[in-house]
Amino acid sequence: MRRVPVGTKIRVPTELGPETGTIVYHEPSPQSKDVYMIRWSDGVHTLYEVCKENLVKDDKKRTN
């Protein structure tokens, strides 16, 4: 996957429903180059491996 810009929104399914977060910075690891620091909607920061399916589509860029 190509590098994702800071500020990009992601959505992850959880047991309680979808959780949203924002990419804070890129933090590659030896296991994966797609690891980012995420600020979740509840304010917690964690490292998370982002994939294409997690990215939130920007409605502003869509055309009818």
Tens of pLDDT, residues 4-35? 999 999 999 999 999 999 999 999 889 999 99
pLDDT band (50, 70, 90) for residue 1: confident
Assessment of whether the complete model's pTM goes beyond 0.85: no
- What is the number of domains present in the chain? 1
Domain span including residue 19: 9-55
Residue 57: the pLDDT is 82
| Residue 36 within a domain | yes
| Residue 4 within a domain | no
Residue 61: the pLDDT is 53
- Cα distance between residue 1 and residue 18, in whole Å: 22
A 10 A CB-CB count for 10 gives 20
Tokens of 20: 């949203």
Region 36-50 average pLDDT: 94
